Structure 1
């Protein structure tokens, strides 16, 4: 398995990551539990043999796939040699690009039919025409993204402000803290955040806090018990509960196994 990230030149307000990931014969079958990372995105899959299992439902992933926000883990399996390219969006970007209720994609890998056909077709054309030049592929995707008018209004601006605060505080906040910086009541905040981002504010904060903790662990190898308290977990049992929720493994099980894809993504 080889994961490569590409430079974001012009679309930093929309894109969190451009990536290319390949699977060689000696890595197969590749089977891993994927944790939520807090963003939606597109993946274009250039071969057969990639599957996602969410609960008891298994889906074969082909061509252009819309990756919704996830607040629980799922199993990802690759059985054939091949590769994928993709975009992970900033939290509000997919809504701004489509004006869709992003919560309808939550905990799913969806097909483009759920979107405007013209919108998704333009992405499929570019993904299909890379000719093994991935720098050009992502440059072309940036140009395409910049060609779309963005939905920006008081709601998207308020949610962007909330997300900026969540990121600044690394998820260590309460909903009450968020209400102090926006002109919304709690019900409106919950409704708009879920529509624009795909998750409730509380779920997004939990995921973001957990992700930042795991990033710090993978990059710096700080003692996990120190990180648990650094990231404001009341005790190790509360951390273990989040760990199980987001990875489907206990900390002991996770660190005994090779979760290469997750660890590479966390180091980016």
Structure 2
């Protein structure tokens, strides 16, 4: 379920998302679609095991992620009623938390401490059981970080265009629509998102296909073609690149095959 941020924060926060009834019986494939995100558990003591390309780490309370995440899975140690995700506009996340633009270039997962999330506000978040109160506390914290005056950059416009087309747009058309040159676009994507415009387009296309896979598990060719892949083999290659499994292996593990 998505909740829109309060109007004062729409330049900074893309949206607040709630995922309910989180089970701990299977591994969950995780990804980031270019929007730096803060993920919070219901309770400060909740933990998960995150595995990235075979390397495991234990995370408590919540985490931060960004950039392109491949072959990344997590397992919850207990069933959770929900997880709360705050997705930030890429250009402003780094400014709010005074992070270098390259923060996610060499990592995809960070702890809340690594972005210097204020410990007092974090304690307030976990003191209340009300989700709405948690969101209010987070927004009040963001308010303390916001610059006195600023404006949404062209990067956000480019990101929103690619998202709206679900990755079925060329870099040249993005440049034409936004009115910038390639060097500017590549530099800003690299600085604030840790990937190139082409990689971000590829990521959005795959995410769209991944979602369609769950609704059309028996027609993989149609899923591939509908989402702009040349053919099934093209889709197969990207699926293995992102998840480490073939579509059939993944669907079999998730019980999606009829």
User: C-alpha root-mean-square deviation of aligned residues, in Å?
Assistant: 3.0
In structure 1, C-alpha distance between the alignment counterparts of 2:104 and 2:93, rounded to whole Å: 11
> What is the CA deviation profile of residues 26-63 of structure 1, one whole-angstrom value per residue up to 9, with x for unaligned ones?
x4444233244333211234335411111242211012
Alignment size in residue pairs = 248
> What is the CA deviation profile of residues 105-151 of structure 1, one whole-angstrom value per residue up to 9, with x for unaligned ones?
25422123433x3x533541332222x21122123323333443258
| Alpha-carbon spacing, 1:211–1:123, altered in 2? closer, same or farther (3 Å) | farther
After TM superposition, give the deviation of residue 96 of structure 1 in Å: 4.4
* Conserved 8 A contact 1:101-1:198: no
1:145 matched to 2:142? The reply is yes
Name the counterpart of 2:194. Answer: 198
Specify the SS of the correspondent of 2:153: helix
| Alpha-carbon spacing, 1:34–1:104, altered in 2? closer, same or farther (3 Å) | same
Q: Structure 1: where are the runs of 5+ without partners? A: 261-268
Q: Structure 2: where are the runs of 5+ without partners? A: none
TM-score by length of 1: 0.77
1:100-111 matched pairs, under 5 angstroms: 100-106=99-105, 107-111=107-111
Deviates more, 1:32-41 or 1:203-212: 32-41
After TM superposition, give the deviation of residue 167 of structure 1 in Å: 2.2
| Alpha-carbon spacing, 1:16–1:169, altered in 2? closer, same or farther (3 Å) | same
| Alpha-carbon spacing, 1:93–1:135, altered in 2? closer, same or farther (3 Å) | same
Name the counterpart of 1:265. Answer: none
Among 64, 67, 70, which residue is 2:68 paired with? 70
> What is the CA deviation profile of residues 152-197 of structure 1, one whole-angstrom value per residue up to 9, with x for unaligned ones?
46xx612122113212322112222223244544333222112222
Name the counterpart of 1:98. Answer: 97
Name the counterpart of 1:89. Answer: 88
After TM superposition, give the deviation of residue 230 of structure 1 in Å: 2.1
| Alpha-carbon spacing, 1:15–1:127, altered in 2? closer, same or farther (3 Å) | farther
TM-score by length of 2: 0.80
